[in-house]
Amino acid sequence: MNWAEIGTYFAAICLFVGAFFALVGTFGLIKLNDSMTRLHAPTKVGTMGIGMILLASMVYSFVQGQGSLHELLIMAFLFVTAPISANFISKVNIHRRSCDTPPELAKTEEWSTLVQREEDAGAHPEQTLSKG
């Protein structure tokens, strides 16, 4: 067994793992109840599933002698943007009150996403939260 065969088998394993994560993420996106629990499915697919598929592409291109590092840039972009977009989507759900609000904290602590200062309340009335 030479290095080309080992690389091909490794790429195939990476493809199967990536496809498995994509399948589980799709199933979770369809079957989970509300938007906050549904949020976990695409973020896992974006990081692990697509990451493994891109790793398989990179390994296979090196095995074929046409090395490519473009996949590393794509992976870096996905690994940076997936958590940020998930954070913003969850904050929107909290502000729209379309999910359970976080539990009450002690009077000295605050949830940073739900803080509304007095000086901000009068500045832009169209941006205040509606309860409904």
Give pLDDT tens digits for 11-65.
999 999 999 998 988 888 888 887 777 777 777 777 888 889 999 999 999 998 8
DSSP state of 128: S
The set of residues, in sequence order, having a beta carbon less than 8 Å from that of 118 and lying 6+ positions away, is: none
- Please state, in angstroms and as integers, the Cα–Cα distance from residue 76 to each residue in 28, 70, 91, following that order: 24, 10, 24
Other CB atoms within 10 A of residue 30 CB: 9
Domain ranges for the chain, please list them: 3-101
Other CB atoms within 10 A of residue 1 CB: 6
